[in-house]
Amino acid sequence: MRYLFVLDVAFAVLGASMVIGVGVSALLLGWHLDVAPEQRGSMNTLLVLTFAYTVVTLAAAAGAWGLRRKAGWHWLAQAAFATSLVAAYFISIQSLVDP
């Protein structure tokens, strides 16, 4: 279980850094959207990615917390983490494919 805990913490930290990076980009684009209104589609994409990475971060943190507390629900949190990770992967790939 130690390795699963380390994996959960690593993904929680990685997800948090992605949320910060993409979220700040969305914030800056939103701030300057009146100068470049043609970037509105990019703004929507950045908001969707920020949400997807937030869900992954929260699910990974919940899984790590459940393992740390030796809670019975930690497998449910691990399943939510795996599901959200796969969903975020496909959302990220789809946003890269669509211009």
CA-wise closest residue to 29 among 46, 49, 52, 54: 46
Q: What does the domain layout of the chain look like in residue ranges? A: 2-97
DSSP letters, 42-83, are HHHHHHHHHHHHHHHHHHHHHHHHHHHHT-TTHHHHHHHHHH
pLDDT (tens digit per residue) in 21-76: 999 999 999 998 888 888 888 889 999 999 999 999 999 999 999 999 999 899 99
